[in-house]
Amino acid sequence: MSATAAQLSHVYPLGTRVNEHGRLEVGGCDAVELAREFGTPAYIVAEDDLRARARSFVEAMASCHSNFDILFASKAFPCTAVYRVLADEGLSCDVASGGELALALKGGFEAGRIYLHGNAKSETELREALAAGVGHIVLDSFDELQRLQRIAAELDCRQEVLLRVTPDVSGDTHAAISTGQADSKFGFGIDDARRAIVAVGEQPNLELVGLHCHIGSQLFELAPFRHAVEAIASLGDFPVYNLGGGLAAAYTASQHPPAVADYVDAVVTVAHDLLGTQKRLLLEPGRALVANSTVTLYTVETVKRNISTWVAVDGGMSDNLRPMLYGSVYEALIADRPLAPATERCHVAGKHCESGDVIVRDIPLPAPVPGDVVVTPVTGAYGHALANNYNGVPRPPVIFCRAGDARLVMRRETYDDLAGRDTS
């Protein structure tokens, strides 16, 4: 059997196809062989896809605005090799903790290209950021403003800052990942932002260069971005505006989020209309950069038929928490017969001790049997990032595939790793 990429849904990484053996191929590598070589579960990243998406953001911006930067919102996939690729593509980086800062530096981002976010940055994290020389810190509260001024004065340095504003705009998304509403733990509301702008201006060691807003994640509609910019435009005139991330990714064949070029064109148009054409514009996509670059491979351990058909695999909510947290919907296929007629509606369940541990519900599959390699696409964003050791399950490896070469960039955790922090 052979088939073209067109027969696979658009959610798979660039270059994914069914090869001459009738198996799924990602980054030029046969998914069944990858499962054999690296074991399962495993995150498989198509490196060309990652690079292509980074370029699509940069090219889209470059075509309509000259003074810009694209920041990788690294919470989406905080893995050193991913930082390395995106640094290599010329992006800057958003980090939201001291840990992400350490990874970004290790992954090759120059400190000056790093922006530190976070609604509860600790004294230690602020000191680490200043010691590293990060380009910008995004201030999130009055307490942090005072804390940062005190530390910067003590270290006798001057730090450029942005102010995170919650513009009281809600994107149409899951409540847990909506961040622009007034009643939020993030940033300054519009009235507080006015006071914070004055307060930063009074701090000798802080220099306010601009405003930031991020209204939410997995957004399909572009109108809320205009409303957000309208709100922050009323706060004054600054050289830099960071309009956050949030562009949705397609998780299933029926989802069609705006193309990167259309999203960029829309936000730049809004910025030109409301802020003028001369500002430095920053965007910080996470999901839209990395989600579709990656698939997860699992092995079927058992197939149980009662009222439903339960296809239980060797991973689950420890490697993909999103179905449990947000009710997120995924696709699945079987690696050695991806286009075979589906004969049975199945639930792809994880191995964890909870009934809610179901990765994909009600998906037609071609007579799954134990030993089959199940593939779930679109696991690059917030997959590895949210992975955990529930039930003592070691976290999966990350494998980069490119032109038929598979490279282990992060090994699977071991049982020794699980006990690695024990003190006796």
Closest to 295 measured CA to CA, from 325, 331, 326: 331
The angle subtended at Cα 195 by Cα 192 and Cα 198, nearest 5°, is 150
Q: How far is the CB of 369 from ligand LLP (least distance, A)?
A: 31
For residues 112 and 134, give the distance between their C-alpha atoms in angstroms, rounded to a whole number: 5
Kindly give, in sequence order, each residue whose CB lies less than 8 Å from that of residue 109, ignoring residues fewer than 6 positions away. 83, 87, 92, 93
Judged by beta carbon, residue 186 or residue 400, the one nearer ligand LLP is 186
Judged by beta carbon, residue 35 or residue 76, the one nearer ligand LLP is 76
Q: How far is the CB of 367 from ligand LLP (least distance, A)?
A: 32
| Phi and psi torsions of 318, nearest 5° | -80, -25
Does residue 376 contact residue 331 with C-beta atoms inside 8 Å? yes
Q: How far is the CB of 94 from ligand LLP (least distance, A)?
A: 6
Sign for the CA dihedral angle at 53, 57, 59, 60 comes to positive
Residues that bind ligand LLP (CB under 6 A): 73, 75-76, 94, 117, 177, 214, 217-218, 244-247, 284-288, 322, 326, 381-382
Q: How distant, in Å, are the alpha carbons of 203, 321, 393, 416 from that of 413?
A: 46, 18, 9, 8
157 is catalytic: no
Q: How far is the CB of 359 from ligand LLP (least distance, A)?
A: 14
Q: How distant, in Å, are the alpha carbons of 7, 8, 23 from that of 2?
A: 10, 12, 9
Q: How far is the CB of 76 from ligand LLP (least distance, A)?
A: 5
Catalytic residue, from 79, 93, 157, 353: name it: 353
Judged by beta carbon, residue 1 or residue 223, the one nearer ligand LLP is 223
Does residue 153 contact residue 280 with C-beta atoms inside 8 Å? no
Closest to 191 measured CA to CA, from 252, 234, 134, 255: 234
Longest CA–CA separation in the chain, Å = 70
Catalytic positions? 353
